[in-house]
């Protein structure tokens, strides 16, 4: 169970029997590899079987929504977790990639009803990214994976 420290509300983090796809960008692959490892570890720690967690690698964050759409359409997955890292550069490219990849993921979730969460880091520097893969800002890969589990369990409980 996940507990909100302010309200005491609990979320269901049981991942047993859930089929989760991790869609990972190869761009900034050292950082994304750590996101993937953290997400996978969190899922296994909360009861998922290794065979129920599938990782798909795509070139970059831009390609994550199209791969996620294909995985959602397959009917093989209960939830999809997007993992990537977009580091600001000198051009507007950062905003386009960050905004549109996340917008595509949100639209996918709305259109299909498949739970989709994002662990796509949008940071100014590589140091900020490292702080988010187990540093001072926690582990965003693990957080995105557990958010998928908790959301899926909450929706299923509400519909039961």
Per-residue tokens: 102: 């996340």
32 located within any domain: yes
pTM (predicted TM-score): 0.93
The total number of structural domains that make up the chain: 1
14 located within any domain: no
Q: How far apart are CA 141 and CA 20, in angstroms?
A: 13
CATH of the domain at 118: 3.40.50.960
Eight-state DSSP code of residue 42: H
7 located within any domain: no
8 located within any domain: no
One pLDDT digit (tens) per residue for the chain, 160 residues? 565 555 556 788 999 999 999 999 999 999 999 999 999 999 999 999 999 999 999 999 999 999 999 999 999 999 999 999 999 877 767 788 889 999 999 999 999 999 999 999 999 999 999 999 987 888 999 999 999 999 999 999 999 8
Q: How far apart are CA 55 and CA 22, in angstroms?
A: 5
The residues annotated with a catalytic role in the active site are 93
9 located within any domain: no
Write out pLDDT tens, residues 90-114.
776 778 888 999 999 999 999 999 9
Pairing assessment for the beta strands 20-25 and 79-87 based on DSSP bridges: parallel
Domain that holds residue 69: 20-151
CB 140 within 8 A of CB 60: no
Q: How far apart are CA 32 and CA 124, in angstroms?
A: 16
């Amino acid at each position: 169970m996940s507990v909100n420290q302010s309200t005491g509300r609990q979320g269901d983090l049981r991942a047993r029997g859930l089929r989760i796809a991790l869609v990972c960008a190869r761009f900034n692959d050292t950082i994304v590899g750590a996101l993937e490892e953290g997400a996978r570890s969190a899922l296994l720690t909360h009861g998922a079987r290794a065979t129920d967690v599938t990782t798909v690698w795509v070139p970059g964050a831009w390609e994550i929504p199209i791969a996620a759409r294909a995985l959602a359409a397959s009917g093989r997955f209960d939830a999809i977790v997007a993992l990537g890292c977009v580091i600001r550069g000198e051009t507007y490219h950062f905003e386009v990639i960050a905004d549109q990849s996340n917008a595509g993921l949100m639209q996918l979730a709305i259109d299909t009803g498949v739970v989709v969460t994002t662990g796509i880091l949008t940071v100014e520097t590589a140091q900020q990214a490292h702080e988010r893969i187990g540093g001072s800002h926690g582990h965003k890969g693990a957080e995105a994976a557990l958010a998928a589990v908790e959301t899926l369990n909450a929706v299923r409980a509400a519909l039961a």
